[in-house]
Amino acid sequence: MTGRVFVIGGPNLGRLGKRQPEIYGDTSWSELESLCRGWAADLGLELEFLQSDLEGELVRMIHGAGDGAEGLILNAAAYTHTSVAIRDAVAAVDIPVVEIHLTNPDARESFRRKNLLADVVTAGIRGFGIDGYRLALVGIAALLRAGHAGNGKINPG
């Protein structure tokens, strides 16, 4: 199986390895990309790796994934809790979307417990740190093998 998957990171993820390493770890965004490419190759996935701190740019990237990929792994970061625009963009694409967070937002500050994406993504992974990206890649590969129809639906059979 070969599937094209976009991996999109939201605000502050470009600072991975520097920003609060006691919370987010010491792996940089470029190191994460390298790790993901290795894991993806083992799964027969081709990755497009993108990051932006800008809400509108993330919306454009999500639309691009919907037009040019079979799946999307999205870490919307802080926009998870605030952005209706990103929620609407995810709802508008007809591919499986796996939401990922390095930490478990439900175990953090109360404002992080509001998730505007939860009901429009196919699946979610949280709290596994960098290894969560490996889990997300395994999950998206399984969804693609199962004939995922997008928007939370699996084709029977």
Smallest CA-to-CA distance from 17 within 29, 28, 8 is with 28
Instruction: Decide: helix, strand or coil at residue 127.
Output: coil
H helix or E strand, kind and range, residue 47: strand 45-51
- The half-sphere exposure of 51 on its side-chain side, counting CA atoms within 13 A, is 14
Q: Which residues pair with 51 in a beta bridge?
A: 9
Q: Is 24 labeled as catalytic in the residue annotation?
A: yes
Cβ proximity of 86 and 55 under 8 Å:
yes
Residue in 79, 101, 133, 148 annotated catalytic: 101
> Residues near 151 by Cβ (< 8 Å), separated by ≥ 6?
91, 94, 120, 122
Strands 71-75 and 97-101, by their bridges, are: parallel
Residue in 24, 79, 133, 148 annotated catalytic: 24
Q: Is 101 labeled as catalytic in the residue annotation?
A: yes
Q: Which active-site residues does the annotation give?
A: 24, 101
